[in-house]
């Protein structure tokens, strides 16, 4: 059984993280520069989950918090490590951060067609509250984003 460590993203991990993102989101992947920009923001947190067996990046999550609100900005799990509960572990980490830092409300946007992600977010208490029309690029045009919100007990 593979075990994982959740740790802060470092600049040394940016090429590997971008490569994973490019496979997962070919139309609108984050570049090393995108991740680095978030890493330098004082209110943003870039976290990676590393596989102990391979010492490689298995997944990553980027989120921000301002006062009592948080936003999930980006999340991805390498295809090799999908369907193993890793995205859920990273969301749990984000929730723990939120509880510690008194985050009252979390926001995120997700492709309307991304049923597995929508189901995962619902499992973590997010509810769809709106739509952003034509938000994401697709090979044939644009796709709507669902806006999802989670209110916490903090």
68 in any annotated domain: yes
37 in any annotated domain: yes
- Number of structural domains (the chain) is 1
61 in any annotated domain: yes
117 in any annotated domain: no
Which residues, other chains included, contact 56 with Cβ-Cβ below 8 Å and sequence gap of 6+?
16, 50, 78
137 in any annotated domain: no
pTM: 0.93
133 in any annotated domain: no
Quick one: pLDDT at residue 51? Answer: 85
CB 40 within 8 A of CB 83: no
Quick one: pLDDT at residue 1? Answer: 60
Quick one: pLDDT at residue 52? Answer: 80
CB 105 within 8 A of CB 67: no
Cα–Cα distance list, 94 to 22, 26, 28 (Å): 23, 25, 23
Q: Give the angle 46-77-73 at the CA atoms, nearest 5°.
A: 40
Residue 42's domain comprises: 4-108
Active-site positions read 109, 121
Beta partners for residue 131, in sequence order: 146
**Series of mean pLDDT values for 10-residue runs along the chain (154 residues):** 87 97 94 96 93 87 97 97 94 96 97 96 98 93 97 87
Residue 98: φ, ψ to 5°: -60, -45
């Amino acid at each position: 059984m593979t075990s994982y460590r959740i740790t802060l993203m470092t600049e040394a991990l940016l090429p590997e993280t971008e490569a994973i993102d490019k496979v997962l989101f070919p139309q609108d992947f984050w570049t090393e520069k995108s991740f680095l920009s978030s890493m330098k923001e004082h209110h943003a947190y870039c976290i990676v989950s590393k596989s102990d067996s391979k010492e490689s990046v298995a997944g990553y999550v980027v989120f921000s918090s301002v006062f009592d609100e948080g936003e999930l900005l980006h999340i991805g799990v390498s295809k090799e490590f999908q369907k193993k509960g890793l995205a859920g572990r990273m969301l749990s980490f984000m929730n723990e951060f939120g509880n510690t830092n008194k985050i009252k409300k979390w926001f995120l946007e997700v492709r309307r067609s991304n049923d597995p992600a929508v189901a995962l977010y619902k499992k973590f208490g997010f509810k769809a509250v709106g739509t952003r029309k034509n938000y994401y690029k697709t090979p044939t045009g644009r796709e709507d984003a669902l806006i999802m919100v989670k209110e916490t007990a903090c």
